[in-house]
Amino acid sequence: MSVLGNILWLIFGGLLSAIGWFLAGVICCITIIGIPIGLQCFKFAQMVIWPFGTQIYYGNLSSGSIILNIIWILLCGFELAMGSLAMGVVCCITIIGIPFGIQHFKFAGLALMPFGAQMRKIIY
C-alpha cells in the first residue's frame, strides 16, 4: 500500500513540493547562519518525496533544539504548519484523499518541531 500511495503522491504534486523544499534548502545553505534551516528544509524534502511508510519520532530534544524550534516557529514554522493543516483538512473532505490528508497532518507536526525530529522507515 505504501508504494502505491507514494507513487500517487508523486504524480499529484509531491514531486513539485519536494523540489521546492530542496531549492529552499539550497538557498538557505548559502549563508553560514542559514545552514541549520537549510538542513531542516532538506528533511522536509526527504519526507515530502516519500511520505508513506515513514514515521517521525520526537525524542532528541536538547536545549539547543528547543531554542532552534522556537526560532523556527517564529520565523516560518507556524505558517508552514497552518498550510499543511489546511491542506490536510481539504484532502480529508473526500474519502479518497484521507491518506493524503494524514500525510499533510504529519507534515504539520514536522513543520512545528523539525529540530530534534528523526524520520524512520516503517518495516512491516
**How does the average pLDDT of the chain come out, rounded?**
84
The pLDDT, as a whole number, for residue 10 is 83
Encode burial over 29-41: b for 16+ CB neighbours within 10 A, e otherwise. Answer: beeeeeebbbebb
Helix (H) or strand (E) holding 106: helix 98-112
The predicted structure's pLDDT at residue 1: 63
Enter the pTM of the model.
Answer: 0.78
- Tens digit of each residue's pLDDT (9 = 90 or more) over 11-39: 877 788 888 888 888 988 998 888 888 88
Q: How far apart are CA 88 and CA 108, in angstroms?
A: 9
What are the cell numbers at 62? 536538547
User: What tens digit of pLDDT does each residue of 57-92 get?
Assistant: 887 777 788 888 888 888 778 888 888 888 889 889
